Structure formats: C-alpha cells, structure tokens
Amino acid sequence: MKTRIIGAVVAVILAAAGGFAVLNYVSGADARAAEGAELVEAYVVTEPVSQGATLDAVQAVLEVGNLPRNAVPEDAVTDLADLEGLVTSADLLPGDILREGRFVDPADAAAGSVAVPPGMQLVSFTLPADRVVGGQVTAGDRIGLVGTVDPDEPGGEEDVINPITRFAFHGVLVTRVQGVARVDPETGEEIDQSSDANVMVTIALSAHDVERWVWFTEGESADYAQMWLTLENDATDNSGTSPVDGSNAWQ
C-alpha cells in the first residue's frame, strides 16, 4: 500500500517538473524568436468590433503589445487621439493591429466608402459575385488579384494554348462596393439578384497600377474570366506564390 502511495507521489512530482520544463522551454522559444528583432508597441484588438464603431467602443477592446517591427504595418496607430471623431470602416477581429486605414469620417462611412489615400486614384470594375469572394468584400478591405493570361497566340494546329495563372496584386484598398442590377434585355425589368449577380468594386491604386489593373479587365474574355479577387487581412501570408500553368497545375 505504501509503495503505491509513494509511486503516486513520485508521478505527481515528475508531471509537475515536466510541465515546468515545457513552460520554460516555450518561454525560452518566444525569447529566442524575439532575440535580435526590434520590438515596438502596437495597439492590438482583443474582441470583435463591428464596422461603424466609434473610438470609445474600440478603446474598450484594445491592449498594447510588443511586436517585431517588421510585423507592424506602416499605418499602425501610434496615438489614439488621431482617431477622434472617426469610425471603423470595416469589422475588426481579435489579433488585428489597429491601423489608421481602417478608420474614416462618419460621413464617408454612411456613404459606404472610404477616403482615398494621398497620391492614389480610383478605378472601378465589375465582376460576378463568385469572383469577389461571394460578394463579401466591403469598403475598407484589402484585396488581391489573381490573373490568368494566355501568352500564346492561337494559330496552326501545332499551337498549344497554355494559360498562366498568378497573383498580380496584393493589399489593394477597396473604397466602395455596389451591387449592380441585372436587367432582362427583352423586358427591361430588373432580375432578382443571385450568386451570379454582378458586383461593382472601386479601388485605390497608383497611376501605373491602374494601367496594370485595367489591362486585366480588358482581357480577351467578355465576362472577365481572367480575374479572381481574394480577401486579405493583416495575418495573410502571401509568400510562396509562383506562376501556375499546365506543367505544374497538378503538383
């Protein structure tokens, strides 16, 4: 009986020692990961915040974290006073770093749009909802563009058309999203919207990037089959992308 009791006590002690060792190892791993990296303070969201929230509502769910500088966006908020009188232009999620680009004047929010960053210009385009993340994209979001182009010119029978698909844009600011009514060409009456309804998206780009984006919208396919949008966020990992064609599509 005593042997069993002693064995149980020893097991408890060993388990506690093992847990302490794991905790120390994890803490040490965090320290090692941060070693050599410059840490800066940033406001981090701890609970979900709905679009249109005021600064007071946002402040209630913020905490200050020490993060590696390369993980903090350039427009990260450093002074909450800069957000006085503004509201969130999109939903904020736990773990999001507070960014100036996610706040707009209430008048702009009411209009369903966000301010244009200095030096940028607006351009609009229309896509079916299933190519705009099911129509989930809203003003204030950041999107990516996946484009498909065919570098070959159709000609003789020996030609093989081998389209290439790859990311062309990341982090593009959406300033406005509008549903586009579908109209019956014979009756002129509006058709009920469905999953294939069109969505008009307005984005902010630099001058040359506007040219690049329009190049995709002017593709060979009349229904813009060469464009797909992705919805990105602060935690999106855009590394590891590469062109995809018939030689590697199945790998």
Q: Measured on CA atoms in the order 183, 113, 142, 214, is the torsion positive or negative? A: positive
With beta carbons less than 8 A apart as the criterion, state whether 192 and 179 touch.
no
Strand partners, 110: none
pLDDT at 224: 45
Alpha carbon distance 96, 234 (integer Å): 6
Of residues 226, 38, 224, the one with CA closest to residue 148:
226
| Average pLDDT value for the chain | 77
Record the tokens describing residue 80, joined without a space.
Answer: 């909450």
User: Would the pLDDT of 88 be above 90?
Assistant: no
pLDDT in tens, 165-191: 999 999 999 988 887 655 555 655 555
Q: DSSP character for 92? A: B
pLDDT in tens, 12-58: 454 444 444 434 543 454 454 445 568 899 999 999 888 788 999 99
Per-domain residue ranges of the chain: 39-110, 121-232
pLDDT at 178: 80
Domain 39-110 has CATH 3.90.1210.10: yes
Whole-model pTM: value is 0.52
To the nearest whole percent, how much of the chain has pLDDT over 70?
Answer: 69
Query: Phi then psi for 144, rounded to 5 degrees?
Result: -115, 160
